[in-house]
A = this chain, B = another copy of it.
Amino acid sequence: MATNVFSVPDLLEVATEPNRRALLRLLAEGEKTVTELSGHFPVSRSAISQHLLLLSEVGLVTARKDGRNRYYRLDGAGMVRLREQFEAFWTTELDLLVADAGRLGQQPSQGNSDDIQ
C-alpha cells in the first residue's frame, strides 16, 4: 500500500472499504456496541471489532466503555476531515466533466470513437 509509517492516514481509503462504509452509516443513527453492529454483517464480531479499531485509529469514530460493552460512535471532526478529503479529490474539473456527461450521456472532450477493447 501507499499508507506509509509517518504519512497522514488516508481517510478515504479507510472509509471506503464496504464493511467500514456500512459501519459509518449505521453509526450515523447513534452509538452502538460491537455486537449490535456485527449483527448487521455476515462476518464475525472479531472482524467488525477490528474494522472499528481501524476507524478509531484514523479518528473517524470514538469509543465509550460501559460495563462490559463498548459503545462506538462517529467522531464528527473526523467525518468533517473525510468530507474535506473527498472534496479535495472531486475538483472542479471532475464536476464539470460529470455535468457534461450527464447532459450529453457521452464523453466530455473530443469525441473520438475508434476505441479498443
Contacts and interface: CB of A to CB of B under 8 A. Distances in A.
Given A21-B89, A79-B97, A98-B76, A116 B63 contact: yes
A65 interface: yes
Contacts of A108: 74, 76
B100 A76 contact: yes
Contacts of A83: 90, 98
A115 B76 contact: no
Interface of A: 2, 10, 12-13, 16-19, 21, 24-25, 28-31, 56, 62-65, 73-77, 79-80, 83, 86, 89-91, 93-94, 97-98, 100-102, 104-110, 112, 114-117
